[in-house]
Amino acid sequence: MIDIKFLREHPDEVKENIRKKFQDQKLPMVDEVIELDQQRRDCQKEADELKASRNTLSKQIGALMKEGKKDEAEQVKAQVTANAEKLAELDAKQTELEEKVTKIMMVIPQMIDPSVPIGKDDSENVEVQKYGEPVVPDFEIPYHTEIMERLKGIDLDAARRVAGNGFYYLMGDIARLHSAVIAYARDFMIDRGFTYCVPPFMIRSNVVTGVMSFAEMDAMMYKIEGEDLFLIGTSEHSMIGKFIDQIVPEEELPYTLTSYSPCFRKEKGAHGLEERGVYRIHQFEKQEMIVVCKPEESPMWFDKLWQNTVDLFRSMDIPVRTLECCSGDLADLKVKSVDVEAWSPRQKKYFEVGSCSNLGDAQARRLKIRVDGKDGKYLAHTLNNTVVAPPRMLIAFLENNLNEDGSVRIPEVLRPYMGGKDKIG
């Protein structure tokens, strides 16, 4: 959510930003919110004048009563009563206008970084760099669920009977590999100076609307019926929510946290063949990283965060590349975003395994996360990035480490987490 003062003073820039995101249907909202905001400010001015006159009239009543001018005092009292009724009307109108302004401001997109490439959707994202040499072996690589089934590592049929489509049972060494990747990712981030955290897996609605757009909320979140609680789609939500309504000392910044959680997502819509199995599911586990920092430091942290994911995957011998997300592919709260994609030898192409985002002060403004600095209070900047989400990451891992005999090589960094095994067979 952008600053109302900025919108008021730079409406043309806000409109141009909307055009860059190919959301022209939102253009009239800029003028609408300016008009509503002016009405709100007019109400506030009139209310302030009435409050000021109330004190003056009260003094007049006292003076008139002392002079024995009871009738005149009663007339002034009547005026005070009328003013009080008018003030109540103005307060109610002001509240209504504030709610309307906030509702519109919540859907006007954040100002994107000037470096973001302009494009309509993810098909126009721009490759930045490749890391590692993509290899296609001279033997056929089966679909990832076939690899798992041959290793007796997955049971999708039982999961469908128990919970329906979009769930799975991981078994044996595949389940152990899943946990090993999570544990390794946790220690990898701790070694990079991040504080480990296990957050709440449910959050209230005011946190949900503080960390994500309405479109994301509708497409992702599961609501707990009868309670003001939602299951988290990623631990970023509760990790950023940790700082809601807080004024943090500047000298404590940055906060660098890495968190484990299960994640729950509706994943609406139909998906193609390559997004079946464990690629797009309703429940999975993930290691996340978030940063709360000074505004001038967020570009530096953005580059550090996506580099962490690249380094993690390369330490497991998985080739990856980074993609700069274009304007039309950015969620409304994002200033800038980079996707990390892993190489799929079976598909002979890359696919997304993580996303790094700089949200500027958008989440901080909604959640009122402020910094107490030497020159006064200001809004923090927030960033997040996937360290690793094993179900999807397992696809890349199995394909890139599959041997011709059907066994799977375990990279050296994971062997301590797998009881010393150097392969699954």
Per-residue model confidence as pLDDT tens digits over 234-255: 999 999 999 999 999 999 999 9
d(CA 76, CA 84): 12
d(CA 220, CA 214): 10
- CATH 1.10.287.40 residue ranges of the chain are 4-105
Cα atoms in the Cβ-side hemisphere of radius 13 Å centred on 387: 28
Q: Is the separation of the CB atoms in 306 and 83 below 8 Å? A: no
- Provide CB contacts within 8 A for 261, sequence distance 6+: 198, 199, 201, 232, 234, 235, 238, 285, 286, 288
Lowest mean pLDDT among 55-59, 100-104, 133-137: 55-59
In the CATH hierarchy, which top-level class contains the domain 122-424? Answer: alpha beta
- CATH 3.30.930.10 residue ranges of the chain are 122-424
In three-state secondary structure terms, 171 is coil
Instruction: Give the architecture (CATH level 2) of 4-105.
Output: Orthogonal Bundle (1.10)
Which uninterrupted H or E stretch holds 75? helix 70-105
Q: What is the pLDDT of residue 390?
A: 87
Here the tokens at position 17 are 């930003």
Q: Which amino acid is at 373?
A: G
Neighbours of 91 (CB within 10 A): 13
Q: At what angle do helices 11-20 and 27-66 cross, to 10 degrees?
A: 150
Please list, residue by residue across 283-322, b when 16 or more beta carbons sit within 10 angstroms of its beta carbon and e when fewer do.
bbbbbbbbbbbeeeebbebbebbbbbbbebbeebebbbbb
Share of residues in the chain with pLDDT > 70 (%): 93
Q: What separation in angstroms does the CA of 215 have from each of 106, 255, 276, 334? A: 11, 28, 23, 13
pLDDT bracket for residue 273 (50, 70, 90) = very low
d(CA 252, CA 108): 32
- Provide CB contacts within 8 A for 53, sequence distance 6+: 83
Q: At CB < 8 A and 24+ separation, what contacts does 29-33 make?
A: 29/104, 29/107, 29/108, 30/108, 32/104, 33/4, 33/7, 33/101, 33/104, 33/105, 33/108
Greater confidence (379 vs 83) lies with 379
Terminal CA-to-CA distance of the chain, rounded, Å?
Answer: 51
Q: What is the pLDDT of residue 214?
A: 74
Please list, residue by residue across 104-122, b when 16 or more beta carbons sit within 10 angstroms of its beta carbon and e when fewer do.
bbeebbbbbbeebeebeee
Greater confidence (298 vs 390) lies with 298
pLDDT of 30 higher than 60: yes
Residues 120, 124, 129, CA angle at the centre, nearest 5°? 145
pTM, 2 dp: 0.89
Neighbours of 246 (CB within 10 A): 15
pLDDT bracket for residue 208 (50, 70, 90) = very high
Here the tokens at position 292 are 């709360």
**Mean pLDDT across 214-229:** 87
